[in-house]
Amino acid sequence: MHQDSIHQRNILSSEEVQSLRRQFPIVKNKVFMNHAAFSPPCRAVKEAYDRRLHEWENMDVHRWSSEAAEAKKLFSKLINCTADEIAFTPNTSTGISSIATALPYRRGSNVVVTDLEYPAVTYTWLALQRKGSLETRFVKNRGGRIDPSDVDLSNPQFIRKESE
């Protein structure tokens, strides 16, 4: 979105937009559209990495666990849960895989995903299907979009097969 249109909609002031842009040096030369697996870190993240490496190099690591606890507390406020519901994982796929493989599945269980899902996420469910733990059922996209009415979980095709 162009910064003027953000400003016009009163979401952020142009000073705030400029301040956010300064956090991402890449935007001086490029328009970066893919904030997924590989995205440019903002200055604050890079500085935190540099600080951690410096502390690690000097074995000055005694604050790490209290800072991790503080990070959980702050993030829990952001997503409105409790700090003990937050866990650190190396990345999204590992986190989903850890949870998916730890859950108990009753006979006839299925999981509903879309056919536009990121492959690393879908592979976890397909691996559990191959082991016989569950069945993976896909909501098909239409023209590159998922229609919310197609994700109606009361649809018989998504309901667990109790009798099997």
Ligand X SMILES: Cc1ncc(COP(=O)(O)O)c(C=O)c1O
- The residues that touch ligand X, with contacts defined as CB under 6 A, are 36-37, 91-93, 118, 120-121
Instruction: Tell me the sheet residues that pair with 24.
Output: none
By C-beta, is 45 or 159 nearer to ligand X? 45
Rounded to whole angstroms, the Cα distance separating 106 from 122 reads 20
CB of 120 to ligand X, least distance (A): 5
Single out the residue of 67, 26, 18 nearest to residue 43, CA to CA: 26
By C-beta, is 61 or 151 nearer to ligand X? 151
By C-beta, is 121 or 127 nearer to ligand X? 121
CB of 161 to ligand X, least distance (A): 28
CB of 37 to ligand X, least distance (A): 3
The beta strands (E) that lie in 37-109 are given as none
Cβ–Cβ < 8 Å for 111, 137: yes
CB of 36 to ligand X, least distance (A): 3
3-class DSSP state of 109: coil
Cβ–Cβ < 8 Å for 113, 84: no
Q: Tokens 């991790």 identify what position? A: 68
Q: Tokens 């507390």 identify what position? A: 73
CB of 99 to ligand X, least distance (A): 13
Q: Tokens 């009361």 identify what position? A: 154
By C-beta, is 104 or 119 nearer to ligand X? 119
By C-beta, is 90 or 156 nearer to ligand X? 90
Rounded to whole angstroms, the Cα distance separating 86 from 81 reads 8
